[in-house]
Amino acid sequence: MDVLLFGIIAEKAGRERLAITASDTRELRARLTDAMPFLASLSYAIAVDRHLLRDDRPLNGDEEIALLPPFAGG
C-alpha cells in the first residue's frame, strides 16, 4: 500500500509517498521505522482512510495510510 508522508516526515524522507506491505497496523509501524529510522525520534500520528488510528487493526492493503506530524494550522 502507498503511505502518504507530510511535513517534516516528507522532508526527512525526501519523498511524499512510500510503498509498504503490512497486514496490520502493528506490522505497518515496524516496517515504517525500518524504512525511515528517523521516525523513532519524531512525534506523529497514523491516519487510515483519513481517520486517526486509535487502536491497532488489520489492513487489507487497499487502505489510504498517512503519517501526520504535529498539526500547525491556523
Partner 1 sequence: MKTHKKRDIFVEGAIPASFIAESIAEHATATSIGGHEIFLGQVRADEVDGKQVAAIDYTAYRDMANDEMVVIREEAFARWPITCLHVHHSLGTIPVGQLCFFVFASAAHRQPAREAVAFITDEVKKRLPIFGREILSEGGHGWKENR
For partner 1, the binding residues (CB under 8 A) are 4, 6-8, 11, 47, 50-51, 66, 68-74
Task: Spell out the residues 6+ positions from residue 9 whose beta carbon is closer than 8 angstroms to its own.
Answer: 36, 39, 42, 44, 67, 69
Nearer to partner 1, 6 or 34 (CB): 6
Nearer to partner 1, 23 or 57 (CB): 57
Nearer to partner 1, 19 or 72 (CB): 72
Phi-psi category of residue 14: left, alpha or beta, with phi > 0 → left and psi -120 to 50 → alpha: left
Cα-flanking dihedrals φ and ψ of residue 60, to 5°? -100, -5
Please state the closest distance from residue 29 (CB atom) to partner 1, in A.
18
